[in-house]
Amino acid sequence: MQIKVSESSNHLEKGSLVYFFEPQSVAVISPMRESLFGSHALIKNFLEAGFREKIYPLDLSCKEVLGLKVYTSIKNIP
């Protein structure tokens, strides 16, 4: 498989791995209990690493995690 880099934007062309390596948003679907592993830790790592795109936590048991609104359904995400 060959991946082409666009000369004008320095981004990989559509259909490549750009959506995986440069996501514009991330949905984290799982219970948000605070622990060393799991969704809570994943979101904390995103924030601490400087991920500044949209993070959408999904859970039925809480309304907020680490300052982010928690959605009850993927259908409710804007």
CATH classification at residue 46: 3.40.50.720
**pLDDT for the residue numbered 36:** 75
Which of 35-39, 47-51, 74-78 shows the lowest mean pLDDT across its residues?
A: 35-39
Question: Does some domain include residue 10?
Answer: no
**pLDDT for the residue numbered 13:** 59
Question: Does some domain include residue 60?
Answer: yes
Q: Specify the number of domains making up the chain.
A: 1
Question: Does some domain include residue 28?
Answer: yes
Question: Does some domain include residue 15?
Answer: no
Question: Does some domain include residue 9?
Answer: no
Question: Does some domain include residue 8?
Answer: no
SS3 at position 71: strand
Question: Residue 31's closest CA among 74, 65, 67, 78?
Answer: 65
Residues 6+ apart with CB under 8 A from 28: 39, 42, 43, 55, 56, 57, 58
Question: Does some domain include residue 7?
Answer: no
Range of the domain at 60: 23-76
Cα–Cα dist 67/31, whole Å: 16
